[in-house]
Amino acid sequence: ADGRRELVVTFAYNQYQRQFRALARGIVEWLTQGVHLGQSRNYLSVHVDDVFAPDARWDTALNCTPGDFDCVGDDGEGADPIRMTVADAQYAAAWQKSSGFTLDMVYNGGQGEQWKTEHAGSDPLTDRLVADRAQYRWINHTYTHPFLGCVQDNTVVPWQCAKDTRGNTLWVSRAELSAQIRDNHNWAVRKGISVDRSELVTGEHSGLRTLPQQPVDNPNLAGALADNGVKWTGSDNSREPQQRAVGTASGAAKTVPRHPMNVYYNVGTAAEMADEYNWIYTSRADGGSGICESNPASTCLPAPLPTATGYADHIVPQEARTALSHVLGNDPRPHYVHQSNLAEERLLYPVLDRVLADYRALFAPSAPLVNPAQRDVGTELTRRAAWDQALAAGKVTAYRIGTAVTVKAPAGVTAPVTAPEGTRKRLVLGTAAFGTPYAGTRSAWTAPEPLQTSVTLTLPTA
């Protein structure tokens, strides 16, 4: 009778649980009558690294990957590398179409050229992917995928940064860094592949600091990024979850943290995946490495997974659950996997199919998955950081009087605002529809129009 309403939540939850994540946006909209600072989307991007390159295969006898510096007992790069085939490329294109989801192909053009040279001048995989180039998004991954940080000394385990006679760290040069970026971009242009010069992922995220051996960025990296117009370079979210600048110059490139998916780069079959997973996540008593016992951030499996069924029964649902938690957490950071996960038994697809199915069972079409490009993720994270800084400094003012909403923020800082359908934004002359629709409301990063000092919105009347 007095106009007050009460919301009763009859289930237990915390911020990490799916039931809360699925309903949190609606709770906020109910509480604020659909008018509040901030905006929320459900994001999912998947980067497929090493496209055109082969990936080394896990050795189930040695419990390591031949070619790695710490794989004791192997005789080099190992045999039988994992590389997509024409059939895998055709499947990827068909899967995208049927699922309504676009993959980002993070490519090494020089690896395709090397494969062609080593196989009598023929590479049907590259030909097929290039023919289907318009069906994917593409990201520069350097021409031949070298390590671009310090010069590695692999005569010791673990590897160290090589030093000169004075004890100074030896670094991959700016010229070599720049050539790897430039040559790969130019290769794509010659093939008719549309690639954004501003986006980059270096091999193994190298060039960026790599703890414990390399605690700082390669000092030549920032200059090489600037030489090639790179504004956004991928980083490993498990190591560096926050976006940061590379170098100190104005306009320096920024990192785009990426979530590693627990589908390993060095496996082509479910049995190989379960075997390596067991090695990492079982105790020494159960035949594992014991890493899970010594790492406080890890836990051991109660028993090794069956190699025949462990991937489908345990790893797929667990990894899909983790990925979906990022999606429902308003987290725009991309996920990354490798081309090997699209090859042989095509291990990535069961995970993505599970994520997409679970998502679509939870949300109506009015809340579609947003599949942002790397540059868009970088921009989103940059805006969030500036907004959070302005809020923390007490430099944001926002209020509502009747149907008028006013938001003031420091110059150069855009404000995230959510409002009901029918909201109009005041222009210098007249008004325009505010924001873009999502989940029953409209929202946007917004700033004052020219000659204005604040954002003014007019809400629809009931």
- Whole-angstrom CA distances from 434 to 5, 106, 234, 401 are 28, 35, 32, 18
Helix (H, G, I), strand (E, B) or coil at 340: helix
154-169 burial string, b = 16+ CB within 10 Å, else e?
Answer: eeeeebbbeeeeeeeb
What is the full DSSP assignment across 218-258? -TTHHHHHHHTT--EEEEETTT--S--BSSSSTT--EEEEE
Q: Which of 357, 346, 330 has its CA nearest to residue 100?
A: 357
Tell me which fold the domain 46-362 belongs to.
Answer: TIM Barrel (3.20.20)
451 token code pair: 């000659």
Tell me what pLDDT residue 1 has: 79
What is the full DSSP assignment across 193-225? ----TTEE--GGGBTB-BTTTB-S--TTHHHHH
The pTM (predicted TM-score) of the whole model is 0.96
Task: Encode pLDDT of 238-285 as tens digits.
Answer: 999 999 999 887 789 999 999 999 999 999 999 999 999 999 999 999
| Integer Cα distance of 330 and 226 in angstroms | 30
Tell me what pLDDT residue 68 has: 85
| Integer Cα distance of 246 and 209 in angstroms | 10
Q: Strand 152-153 and strand 160-161: pairing?
A: antiparallel
* Per-domain residue ranges of the chain: 18-41+385-458, 46-362
Contact status, residue 148 vs residue 202, Cβ threshold 8 Å: yes
Helix (H, G, I), strand (E, B) or coil at 433: strand
Please name the residues in contact with 316: beta carbons below 8 A apart, sequence gap of 6 or more: 350, 351, 354
Tell me what pLDDT residue 77 has: 59
Tell me what pLDDT residue 75 has: 64
Tell me what pLDDT residue 56 has: 95
| Integer Cα distance of 99 and 351 in angstroms | 13
Tens of pLDDT along the chain (462 residues) come to: 788 999 999 999 998 999 999 999 999 999 999 999 999 999 999 999 999 999 999 999 999 999 888 887 766 656 789 999 999 999 999 999 999 999 999 999 999 999 999 999 999 999 999 999 999 999 999 999 999 999 999 889 889 999 999 999 999 999 999 999 999 999 999 999 999 999 999 999 999 999 999 999 999 999 999 999 999 999 999 999 999 999 887 789 999 999 999 999 999 999 999 999 999 999 999 999 999 999 998 999 999 999 999 999 999 999 999 999 999 999 999 999 999 999 999 999 999 999 999 999 999 999 999 999 999 999 999 999 999 999 999 999 999 999 999 999 999 999 999 999 999 999 999 999 999 999 999 999 999 999 999 999 999 997
Tell me what pLDDT residue 302 has: 96
Tell me what pLDDT residue 73 has: 75
Contact status, residue 125 vs residue 89, Cβ threshold 8 Å: yes
- The DSSP element (H or E) to which 16 belongs, if any, is none
Please name the residues in contact with 131: beta carbons below 8 A apart, sequence gap of 6 or more: none
